[in-house]
Amino acid sequence: MPGVLVTGTSSGFGLHTVVELARRGRRVYATMRDLGRRGALDSAIADAGVASRVDLVRLDVTDPDSIASGVGEVLAGAGGHLDAVVHNAGVAVGGAFEDVPEAEARRVMETNFWGVLRLTRALLPSFRAQRHGRIVIVSSNSAYAGEPANSIYVASKWAIEGFAESLPFEVGPFGIEVVLVEPGSYKTEIWGSSPRILPEKSAYATMMRHLEKVIDEKVLASARDPREVAKVIADAIDASRPRFRYPVGPDAWIGHVARGKLPTRLQRFLVSRLLGLHRVRP
């Protein structure tokens, strides 16, 4: 069965997606920036009995040379025919916008936005030649509305959704489909691995400390099993006629239904109440 390239597979959604796709009989090209972090994936595919269907390839979506060599290696292994790509690699940074260093903001955009564009551009010639290909982009319910102390990550997801909505006009005639998977809150390593920027004398210190407590005690406590998202990604690849959007999880579905229907001021009011920000004063 034709292969699927998945980015960001050392943990989280990417790792579970590799396992799920391989269980369904797919040939999976699992890519990651640092193959030294392959241990968790190696264990997962061994436990699932699918290691023979998985090839690990180094690919850093922020490095054009790495994309070129990684895509070349994958296409060579796949005999020049790849069924789909899952753009899963993603990073985040928490903090009030004024406090977040530009280097951190650019790091997020380079991975979450430009990385998707670079890898898509590298794969489009082969997808066009075979008149088939599915581009699955792991977005987020953060693309539905603004969020406090998360403006850079939200911006990256809004940007990639605009790209995803526009690209089908160009690639659709070649049989290429674009799909967005939009998870809500799930237990992945991004929560612990993302920097939280809080300078000692920040004007936003009171709000940030409040938000850290709320996120750790409420949001993470209710976060769901990431294998749910992996199954939806695999379903989107297996579907004969996939939907364009796949919200995943209760909070994502609520945001999806409310998207564009609530005035922005009302959205801000509801989010502030939900997070208790109306009780916080600088």
Q: Which residues are catalytic?
A: 153
User: Is the torsion defined by CA of 136, 253, 93, 269 positive or negative?
Assistant: positive
> What gap in Å lies between CA 110 and CA 168, rounded to an integer?
22
Cβ neighbours of 67 (radius 10 Å): 21
- Alpha carbon distance 74, 194 (integer Å): 29
Using only C-alpha atoms, what is the Rg of the chain?
Answer: 19
CA-to-CA distance for 29 and 72, rounded, in angstroms?
12
Closest CA to 123 of 137, 113, 133, 109: 133
User: Is residue 183 within 8 Å of residue 229, measured between CB atoms?
Assistant: yes
CA distance 27 to 212: 40
Q: Are strands 27-32 and 176-183 parallel, antiparallel or unpaired?
A: unpaired
